[in-house]
Amino acid sequence: MSGVVVHLPQGVGGADGDERRTGAVTLRLGPGEVARFGRGSPAVPVELRLADAAVSRLAGEIRVTDDHWQLTNHSTSHSYLVENPEGAGEYLRVPPRRVGAPVPFEFARVVLPARGETPVSFQVFAPDHVYLDPEAVGGPWGSRTVTAYSLDETATYFLVLVALCEPRLRDQSRVAVPTTPSIAERLRAHPAHAALTARAVSSHIDYLAEEKLRIEVPGAHDPGKVERRNGKREEIVGLALRFGLVREEHLALLPPVTGAGGRERQTAR
């Protein structure tokens, strides 16, 4: 893997003891790099400042290796949880003083006990999990090939990708790519995504573009936000369909099409 992305939805201050509340913090770590987290202080600098009195000055650290990332718990009394938001309740418990616990999840939420009503948490994304070419499994290791685009077909981001590609897969024409709100509305009929918001869909689209598919968005430096968003979705769909990352059989992952038009298309197929 080429690294991980660590995202703290809301940080506090920096490593210099400034306690002013800041916006979200995002770190990109490559193999061998470390990010420390905790309350921090001038004497104990941390990359992720967690604002809660129950969190130690140096609560723990994340270390990135070549093929996974590890979590170290510096607390002497509290366990930390590493949740898999895509895994229907799947989680790991990292006990006090545990060093280098390996984390296998592509998406993870690190949760620390807190004095407030809700625990303190941050997210870790490991976008470069690689998968063997299924046709090469069983052969000599030297002959195996990993996939160029590492996509988990059980993840929410893949469902968003299928919804983006759906109109062109169904109609085989250059129809407009769905908007972010329309994708959120389309997926709300899915039993596991009834609460999906347009903002969440937008985050998944950004993740697909920047981390999974690594595309250059036309007009990325232009001032027009609408044009940039449209260009990003167009590029995602174009690449996914050109390389067969999303195919007709993936449409079965989406909720059934409702309305007369949907019934007609399904009947025609």
Residues sharing a CB contact under 8 Å with residue 84, sequence separation 6 or more, in sequence order: 90, 91, 105, 107, 108, 109
**Domain boundaries of the chain, sorted by first residue:** 4-125, 156-268
Q: Region 246-268: what's the mean pLDDT?
A: 71
Q: What is the pLDDT of residues 30-74, one digit of tens each?
A: 889 999 999 999 999 999 999 888 899 999 999 998 878 999 999
Query: In 3-state terms, what secondary structure has residue 69?
Result: strand
> Does this model's pTM top 0.85?
no
Q: What is the pLDDT of residues 90-120, one digit of tens each?
A: 899 999 999 999 998 888 999 999 887 778 8
More confident residue, 89 or 194: 194
Q: Within a 10 A sphere around the Cβ of 246, how many other Cβ atoms?
A: 25
- Give the tokens for residue 113: 């006990």
DSSP for 193-253 reads -TT--HHHHHHHHHHIIIIIS-PPPTTTTSS-HHHHHHHHHHHHHHHHHHTTSS-GGGGGG
Which listed CATH number (3.30.300.30, 2.60.40.10, 3.40.50.300, 2.60.200.20) goes with 4-125? 2.60.200.20
Q: Regarding beta strands 34-38 and 48-49, do their DSSP bridges make them parallel or antiparallel, or are they unpaired?
A: parallel
Note the pLDDT of residue 249: 93
What is the Rg, in whole angstroms, of the alpha carbon atoms belonging to the chain? 21
pLDDT over 70 percentage in the chain? 76
